[in-house]
Amino acid sequence: MKECVLVTGGAGYIGSHTTVELIAAGYDVVIVDNLSNSEFKAVEGVRTITGVDIPFEQVDCGDKEALGRVFDRYKFNSIIHFAASKAVGESVEKPLLYYRNNLGSLINVLELMRDKGVRNLVFSSSCTVYGQPEVLPVTEQTPRQPATSPYGNTKQISEDIIRDTVAAYPALYGIALRYFNPIGAHPSALIGELPKGVPGNLVPYMTQTAAGLRECLSVFGDDYNTPDGSAIRDYIDITDLARAHVVAVDRMVQGKSKSHYEFFNVGTGRGVSVLELIAAFERATGVKVNHRIVGRRAGDIEKIWADTTFANQELGWKAQRKLEDTLASAWAWEKKLRGIQ
């Protein structure tokens, strides 16, 4: 019998791509999502790509009774918990919403795992837990720094909650994946990132500018201590990131975890500046991106990229897709959304 994985937040950007890779790897999937930041058409896209009528439950993970009914209805031994609110700026304005949604949902998931005998949890963490590291690239041993936003704080607290919970209940295992900057879309262009309103992240803003929806991309700062002055990040392809989840689930299902709680950097190991990314996009697509340099964005860090040695060796996972291909996939998705030929 196939192993089944519960994917919370499975209608979202990373959850939808991960569901595709789980199905390709031979898992069954059940999706839970309250569609607070996604649309059902993402589930339809995943069903089209996979040819599988993946069960979808419109449930809020904050509603423990409803979530418990999902645990009763399906038989699964692993959960990938994506469901969370993720806008850094909004979290500063509405901290309680972020603490309630992100921590309340996780606690419900863990309590249900404990009470209903579900063993494995993969959790969406973030490189935001490292803040601005003193030494680059960051390894998993790089100390976390005090969070600079309620959102970032929910990721740190969530990691701690999982660590403490699996220590107290030895039937449970957890893996936190610390994502760097996920970008791009599925090669089919049937699923991709669906930001609501004006995008805050660089790549959706760039593709919307290229599509003519936005007049000009603002480059936030060219006076950083980097080779071209613009800030540096580690942009990880969404399908590569999705595969890392499959590998993490495999590891737990096959009993290969080395401790009850593990955490891994999921990046490429390569730092790319904002200006380099724009140039790579233009090369990959042949489309010019109207942009101008403006002042730094409050709260931004200067540079970060991952040391992926540990993930490469321990998980046997490595980012593969070329940056240009990833950017071309983001553009193909944007064109499809806007009906551009």
Q: By CB under 6 A, name the binding residues for ligand WQD.
A: 86, 88, 126, 128, 181, 200-202, 205, 217-220, 231, 233, 274, 297, 300
Tell me the CA distances in angstroms from 107 to 10, 61, 222, 262, one per residue in order. Answer: 18, 9, 42, 18
We find the least distance from the C-beta atom of residue 328 to ligand NAD, in angstroms, to be 19
Site string for ligand NAD, 92-131 (x = CB under 6 A): ---------x---x------------------x-x-----
We find the least distance from the C-beta atom of residue 5 to ligand WQD, in angstroms, to be 22
62: partner contacted, choices ligand NAD, ligand WQD, none (Cβ within 5-8 A by kind): ligand NAD
Amino acid sitting at position 188: S
**E-only strand ranges, the chain:** 4-8, 28-32, 56-57, 78-81, 120-126, 173-179, 181-183, 217-220, 232-233, 235-237, 261-266, 272-273, 291-294
CA angle 311, 153, 91 (to 5 degrees): 120
Q: Is 19 in the site for ligand NAD (CB under 6 A)?
A: no
**Taken in order 135, 136, 141, 142, is the CA torsion positive or negative?**
positive
Q: How far apart are CA 245 and CA 263, in angstroms?
A: 12
Q: How many residues make contact with ligand NAD (CB under 6 A)?
A: 29
Nearer Cβ to ligand WQD (205/333): 205
Q: 151 an active-site residue?
A: yes
We find the least distance from the C-beta atom of residue 111 to ligand WQD, in angstroms, to be 24
We find the least distance from the C-beta atom of residue 341 to ligand NAD, in angstroms, to be 27
Nearer Cβ to ligand NAD (33/256): 33
Q: How far apart are CA 53 and CA 297, in angstroms?
A: 43
Structure tokens at 105: 């949902």
Asked if residue 61 lies in contact with residue 105, where contact means CB atoms within 8 angstroms, the answer is: yes
Under the rule (CB under 6 A), what is the footprint of ligand NAD?
8-9, 11-15, 32-38, 60-62, 82-86, 101, 105, 124, 126, 179, 181-182
